[in-house]
Homo-oligomer: A and B are copies of this chain.
Amino acid sequence: MSPLPSGLLGDLDPTSDRAVFRQIADQLREAIDRGRFREGEKLPSEAELVEHFGVSRMTVRNAFSILQGEGLVHAEHGRGVFVRPRPPVRRLASDRFARRHREQGKSAFIVEADAAGSHPQVDSLEVKEERASQDVSARLGSVRRVLARRRRYLLDGRPVEFATSYLPLDIARGTPIAEPNPGPGGIYARLEELGHRLDHFEEEIRARMPSPAEVKTLRLAAGVPVIHLVRTAFDTEGRAVEVCDTVMAADAYVLSYQLPAT
């Protein structure tokens, strides 16, 4: 095995009380930050680092696992460890549900992605009636059963978010909202046609690490959190007419809000 190019990585400090695997992680992190390894580039293999630093393989793997947890690198079985490329982010503006955006024939996601030059897809559509969770019930005003609309969104083949809309049955049952494709303008356009003029939305945002199910659904790399967004739509009478629960891959999104100063 050929040795590492000299100067690429330094030596360990045996006098330091910082653990060896942390020192190795520090060096790799710094090299990445300085651009010595670029996005998508392969890092030295475990064996090369074992050689270079004179440590055991588990020590090197521990160092890599730190960097994976930080979302800096990802390992590919049989190929190597790579600097994780930053995927293009999707910007969500706070006016994305404005009435003027609801006129077109396609869903907001499709329109937006097309405009950004990406290839959008919607996936695993499912519409069914079910029992409302405690949280959804509370938000919708103590309804027992709801219409649930689930779907997953992909950009250029990569899953970026999945969402479930919950609507009270007395509003949605038997309407186009209960159809897989609710028609132009999406369910908000249908709600307004049904006489529920929308007044405002409330969005709650959390960030956390994904559950294993979410890792699978969104094909998340290690070290990528999710943004959990719960939106409630209110009509002009103050009634909550929809709750939308969305989980997004945090490395694919920037949310943008405009707040009045008054």
Interface, chain A (partner B; CB < 8 A):
26, 29, 58, 65, 69-71, 94-95, 97-99, 188, 198-212, 222-227, 233, 250-251, 253-262
Q: How many copies of this chain?
A: 2
Contact of A206 with B250 in the complex, beta carbons under 8 Å: yes
Tell me whether B225 and A207 are in contact (CB under 8 A).
yes
What's the minimum C-beta distance from A101 to chain B, rounded to whole angstroms? 11
In the complex with contacts A69-B69, A257-B94, A257-B259, A225-B209 CB distance below 8 A: yes
Residue among A208, A256, A257 with most chain B CB within 10 A: A257
Contact A98 B208 (CB under 8 A): no
Max chain B C-beta neighbours (<10 A), residue from A97, A227, A261:
A261
Alpha-carbon separation in the docked complex, A206 to B252 (Å)? 9
Residues of chain B contacted by A199 (CB below 8 angstroms) = 260-261
Whether A94 and B259, one on each chain, are in contact in the complex, defined by CB atoms closer than 8 angstroms, is: yes
CA distance in complex: A26, B215 (Å): 14
In the complex, the answer to whether B209 meets A233 with C-beta atoms within 8 Å is: no
Q: How far is the CA of A97 from the CA of B257 in the complex (A)?
A: 13
| A255 & B204 in contact (Cβ 8 Å cutoff) | yes
Query: Given A225-B225, A257-B257, do A99 and B262 touch, yes or no (CB 8 Å)?
Result: yes
With CB as the reference atom, state the residue of chain B lying closest to A102. B261
Knowing A99-B262, A257-B94, A257-B259, say if A205 contacts B203 (CB, 8 Å). Answer: no
Chain B proximity of A120: nearest CB distance (Å): 21
10 smallest beta-carbon distances between A and B, as pairs: A207-B207, A225-B225, A198-B261, A207-B250, A205-B255, A201-B259, A71-B209, A203-B257, A207-B225, A257-B257
Closest to A86 in B: B208
Which residue of the partner chain B has the closest CB to A98?
A: B262
- A212: chain B residues within 8 A (beta carbon): 26, 29, 70
Closest to A68 in B: B69
Q: Given the complex, which residues of B lie within 8 Å of A200, measured CB to CB?
A: 258-261
Instruction: Give the CA-CA distance A226 to B227 in the complex, in Å.
Output: 11
Q: Which has the most chain B C-beta neighbours within 10 Å: A29, A58, A260?
A: A260
